[in-house]
Structure 1
Amino acid sequence: MSSNLWDDLMATDGPLAGSELTNAVPVGGGCIHQAWQLQLSDGRQIFAKTGPTDAIKLFEVEAEALDALAHYADPDVLIVPQPQSLIQLRHGAVLLLPWLRLEGNNQQSLGHGLALMHQTSMHQGHQYFGWYRDGYIGAGPQPGGWRTSWGQAFVDLRLRPQLNLLKRFGIDAAGLKDFLKALVRHLDQRDVVPALVHGDLWGGNAASLVDGRGTIYDPATWWADPEVDMAMTHLFGGFTESFYRAYYSILPAAPAAEERVEIYNLYHLLNHANLFGGGYVNQVRACLNRLARKLS
């Protein structure tokens, strides 16, 4: 964070007007924007995410998603940090969130809270899958739109846009037409109730707090099959057995859920391939081949 942006934050018309910034400590973990622990003279600590002025678009989507998730989360077991300020300043964009102490090591409340959030949102009677606006999955695009069919939503709104971006790596979405049709039919065999999901639930976007509660952040939220969140927890690891026991004690796994893990994680492999290339492209090819054989 440049000293100019510090001055913007503390200016009379800035989000921290009247406060004095005593220290700004970089926080690791992000790969798109800078993150900081801001320490103020009155003893407060605030989490700040900063970026260039055009980062305001990503921060707006994130702030809206956090608000939506918090609406369905039970704060006794799951904390979704609520935006304190979202502002575009002269020298950059800033999203301010409460500082959370993430030193907890018991994921029971995290699993419990995630299941309750999914369950509560499912009971709202939402009729469509998707989201009302274009958003982001990390730095990648996540198109908005609505579908009544879960299979169609997953293919049209998630897989197909990512596959179209992979043409530069020699992966032709047009040649996958039959596979995608089969995948829609396969996913629509179940009666899926839309739930509000985190959407990017890897280990770096969830944690346990020192007070025992769980927390989730950095979402890519949409209305989807709640299994997409649980599937992603298996992609990069970081979740304990107590997390899974707590989750499934409230929302038991549907039949053949483990067979859909690779299907749902294909979306994230595609996004990583588009963002980072390299070995992710080969993982996508291998995954597409395996799934095509299973669905043929």
Structure 2
Amino acid sequence: MAARPDFQILLDDALTGLHNVDTPAGGLRAKLAEHPHLVLRGHQSVGGGCIADAARLETDVAPLFIKTHADRGDGMFPAEARGLEALGTRIRTPQVIATGSVEGTAYLLLEWLDLGPVNDTALGEALAELHAEPQPAFGWPEDNFIGAMPQLAGEDDDWARFYGQRRLAPQLEWAAERGLATRSIDAGQELVEALPAFFTDYRPYPALIHGDMWGANHGALADGTPVLFDPATYRADREAEIAMTELFGGFSPGFYRAYQAHLPLDPGYRVRKRLYNFYHVLNHFNLFGGGYGSQADGMIRQLLADIR
């Protein structure tokens, strides 16, 4: 087990960074930047998932949330921070305080939010509002991450081409390296070549999505305002977001009613949602192995059957 990082050292590093840049007025970052020093008064581990460790830090100014992992030099936390900031222009996210690396430990420091269960109607409405604003192109200007796996940068006006080349093809390559059956890889490559067939009567527009939208990555403030966190942000067909909410469950019928009341789904979504969730199942195979391989194989074959 890795040694616990020295949180005071990480706080000192974060505050030094705030002092060295112009911090916009208002908000927690500006409040923290006014202080010459932050005093750590306590900490408590909280659920951070399987990728990073997480803790609540009690300071003399405000409670803070910190995520840490051994620094691999891959820019995971800076990419996550920029995703949060992009989403935060349209929907509530934790404010980013700082990212950095000290003595081999990478960190992401955020405001602490007291979160409770989300109101599914409010979440559906908020997500529809996020998705309703067209973006300039599909993709994202930098690599970021879905779990611990990279999501490759790139921008394209053609969604099928982007999704095939920058999402499915890399996952298939990594799956081959991790031992997914050759027949599945070959069928997956055939699927990538056939992607335009899923869009003959449907022209998606680029929408900003959270990208890893399952039940553990959202909550609500005391007043009911939905909050999103742990994103894998990029600009995509919005159906990809809604499809993932169905993959692992946890979203009520009220969520879908509220979303569709504001932004109805195309009838062809019933077929394409399998295409979008295939990406996440492949990603889970690459992260965890096991039965996700056979699940991915079955999805490939069903998808090919859908367009034959």
Q: TM-score, normalised by structure 1?
A: 0.89
In structure 1, the residue matched to 2:149 is 140
In structure 2, the residue matched to 1:83 is 96
Q: 1:27 aligns with which of 30, 46, 49?
A: 46
In structure 2, the residue matched to 1:109 is 122
Structure 1 residues 138, 70: CA separation in 2 closer, same or farther (over 3 Å shift)?
Answer: same
Tell me how far 1:210 sits from its aligned partner.
Answer: 2.0
> Identity rate of aligned residues, in percent?
37
Matched residue of 2:223: which SS?
A: coil
Residues in 2 aligned to 1:188 and 1:206: alpha-carbon distance in whole angstroms: 34
Structure 1 residues 175, 111: CA separation in 2 closer, same or farther (over 3 Å shift)?
Answer: closer
Residues in 2 aligned to 1:56 and 1:39: alpha-carbon distance in whole angstroms: 29
Q: 2:254 aligns with which of 228, 235, 242?
A: 242
**Could you list the runs of 5+ residues in structure 2 that have no partner in the other structure?**
19-31
Structure 1 residues 19, 165: CA separation in 2 closer, same or farther (over 3 Å shift)?
Answer: same
8 A contact 1:131–1:144 mirrored in 2: yes
In structure 1, the residue matched to 2:111 is 98
The one-letter amino acid paired with 1:169 is L
Tell me how far 1:53 sits from its aligned partner.
Answer: 2.8
Q: 2:214 aligns with which of 181, 202, 213?
A: 202
8 A contact 2:56–2:66 mirrored in 1: yes
Q: 2:131 aligns with which of 98, 104, 118?
A: 118
Tell me how far 1:180 sits from its aligned partner.
Answer: 2.3
The one-letter amino acid paired with 1:231 is A
The correspondence of residues 146-295 of structure 1 with structure 2, limited to 5 A, is 146-167=155-176, 168-171=179-182, 173-295=185-307
Residues in 2 aligned to 1:181 and 1:54: alpha-carbon distance in whole angstroms: 34
8 A contact 1:151–1:185 mirrored in 2: no
Of the structure 1 ranges 139-148 and 176-185, higher mean CA displacement relative to structure 2 is found in 176-185
Tell me how far 1:136 sits from its aligned partner.
Answer: 1.2
Q: TM-score, normalised by structure 2?
A: 0.86
The one-letter amino acid paired with 1:170 is A
Tell me how far 1:14 sits from its aligned partner.
Answer: 7.0
Offset from partner CA, 1:56-92 (integer Å, 9 cap, x none): 7100110111111112x1xxxx412221111222351
Residues in 2 aligned to 1:96 and 1:32: alpha-carbon distance in whole angstroms: 16
Residues in 1 aligned to 2:200 and 2:114: alpha-carbon distance in whole angstroms: 41
Structure 1 residues 236, 175: CA separation in 2 closer, same or farther (over 3 Å shift)?
Answer: closer
Tell me how far 1:189 sits from its aligned partner.
Answer: 3.4
The one-letter amino acid paired with 1:30 is G
Matched residue of 1:153: which SS?
A: helix
8 A contact 1:196–1:222 mirrored in 2: yes
Matched residue of 1:253: which SS?
A: coil
RMSD: 2.1
Structure 1 residues 155, 277: CA separation in 2 closer, same or farther (over 3 Å shift)?
Answer: same
Offset from partner CA, 1:116-143 (integer Å, 9 cap, x none): 01112x1x5x1x2111122211101111
Residues in 2 aligned to 1:189 and 1:289: alpha-carbon distance in whole angstroms: 22
In structure 2, the residue matched to 1:70 is 88
Structure 1 residues 293, 61: CA separation in 2 closer, same or farther (over 3 Å shift)?
Answer: same
**Could you list the runs of 5+ residues in structure 1 that have no partner in the other structure?**
none
